[in-house]
Amino acid sequence: MSATRLDRRTFLGGVGAATAFGALGLPLAQAAGADMPLRERAARKGMVFGSALMAASLRQMPALGETAARECAIITPENEMKWRYTEKAKGRIDYRDADQIASFAAGNALALRGHTALWYRNSPDWLVPELAGPAGRGLLLAQVTQIVSRFRGRVTEWDVVNEMIEPNDNLPKSMRNWPPFAPGDVGFLADCFHAAREADPKAVLYYNDYGVEYSDTQGYGDRRRAGVLELVAALKSRGAPVDALGVQCHTTVGNRFLEQVYRKFMADAASLGVRILITEFDVNDKRVTGSPAERDRKVADHARQVLTVAFDESAVKGLVTWGLTDRFSWLSTSDDPRDRRPDGQRTRSLPFDENMERKPLWFAIADCFDKAKPRT
Ligand code: XIL
């Protein structure tokens, strides 16, 4: 177990004393020292910085591991703990890649997020017909117990339930239409949280979801925000052990961001008694044209806009990016063409470029940590 292991009791509790450079009138980023890694900038405020990593990318690019060890206080496997990945063929469970990430975390004294125990896109192909049958929910619940138990003592926090809100499915309370469930079956999701708590009593348990940043004119974002808040409230009112809300925060330059709407969402979430972590941050520049430098500037500006508001909410305890380098962003290789750039170029959505050089996005994140109020 690593020295910096976070558990439920000490969650984000290792707070470095915040220094009051602002009071001296010095620009925060400079005062902090340009080379100070993000993990230290975050720690000075009682916050955390981290990233998703892929085992294959770590093997392919040693510099990625060096950067992760320097910049991150917490990491998460991008795919390697998903059921789709751990049991590609029925009964042949393979945790080697998940273990590689867990060992990397332990070897570098990093905390580890488990992602994700229950997700509608987690299912290996062989499982899909079985889920539709009467045993479906039991299989899902057993998997929650299995994976959380397997990593007990190593994973410090779990995304227990991921992405159960989808207003376009037109079910009550904007719940996702996923056949193993009866519509609106919050009780089953509560069971998943109880199973996770039982399997690892010390892990911090999250409900994790996306798409709460923007205010489109059709009201889709409003329905997503309401759905997420309602679900967390419903889980808590049933006594489900939901400790935290994961706000994925996959952002896109050019989407309509209304500061006061996001501010209110974060405050409303905090008032439900959950801690908040930004869990999958990146900035899609698929609609941004121009030189790499111009794209990088717009990406950084957008990040600054969103993260400033998020970090103003003291319940927000940190930021995890969905990768560190543009070389491996899921947005560039996504199956869904709507995620990718129309010109076929890689997105420039992460804090480091293909050669692990810091980009303006890194500096924007650094600034947001430097300006954040110390968490208590
Ligand atoms: C994505 C990965 O980044 C891709 O490599 C994979 O092909 C699909 O899943 N929300 C989540 C993450 O919770 O697990 C998703 O990760 C991105 C969206």
CA–CA–CA angle 312, 321, 153 (5° rounding): 100
The Å distance, Cα 115 to ligand 1 centre, comes to: 10
Q: How far apart are CA 132 and CA 179, in angstroms?
A: 6
Protein residues whose CB sits closer than 6 Å to any atom of ligand 1: 78-79, 162, 210, 248, 280, 330
Q: Read off the DSSP letter of residue 23.
A: G
The Å distance, Cα 78 to ligand 1 centre, comes to: 7
The Å distance, Cα 82 to ligand 1 centre, comes to: 10
Q: What does the pLDDT profile of the chain (376 residues) look like in tens digits?
A: 333 344 443 333 333 333 334 344 445 555 557 899 999 999 999 999 999 999 999 999 999 999 999 999 999 999 999 999 999 999 999 999 999 999 999 999 999 999 999 999 999 999 999 998 889 999 999 999 999 999 999 999 999 999 999 999 999 999 999 988 887 799 999 999 999 999 999 999 999 999 999 999 999 999 999 999 999 999 999 999 999 999 999 999 999 999 999 999 999 999 999 999 999 999 999 999 999 999 999 999 999 999 999 999 999 999 999 999 999 999 998 889 898 999 989 999 999 999 999 999 999 999 999 999 999 8
Q: Alpha-carbon torsion 58, 100, 127, 116, what sign?
A: negative
Residue nearest to atom 9 of ligand 1 (CA): 79
Q: How far apart are CA 21 and CA 51, in angstroms?
A: 27
Calculate the alpha carbon distances from 139 to 52, 74, 213, 215 in Å. 27, 30, 33, 37
Nearest atom in ligand 1 to the alpha carbon of residue 323 is: 3
Distance from chain centroid for Cα 169? 24
Checking DSSP bridges between strand 250-252 and strand 275-284, what pairing results, if any? parallel
Contacting residues for 227 by C-beta, under 8 A, at least 6 apart? 165, 167, 173, 174, 175
The Å distance, Cα 68 to ligand 1 centre, comes to: 19
Q: How far apart are CA 26 and CA 8, in angstroms?
A: 36
Of 51, 75, 76, 78, best ligand 1 pocket probe by most atoms within 8 Å of the beta carbon? 78
CA–CA–CA angle 343, 349, 355 (5° rounding): 95
Question: What is the pTM for the complete model shown?
Answer: 0.92
Calculate the alpha carbon distances from 234 to 224, 273, 316 in Å. 15, 12, 21
Q: What pLDDT, on the 0 to 100 scale, is given for residue 182? A: 81
Of 330, 334, 338, 340, best ligand 1 pocket probe by most atoms within 8 Å of the beta carbon? 330
Residue nearest to atom 16 of ligand 1 (CA): 78
What spatial distance separates the first Cα and last Cα of the chain, rounded to whole Å? 25
Of 224, 280, 326, 332, best ligand 1 pocket probe by most atoms within 8 Å of the beta carbon? 280
Contacting residues for 29 by C-beta, under 8 A, at least 6 apart? 363, 366, 367, 370
Structure tokens at 165: 């809100």
String of b and e for 195-205 (b: at least 16 CB within 10 Å)?
bbbebbebbbb
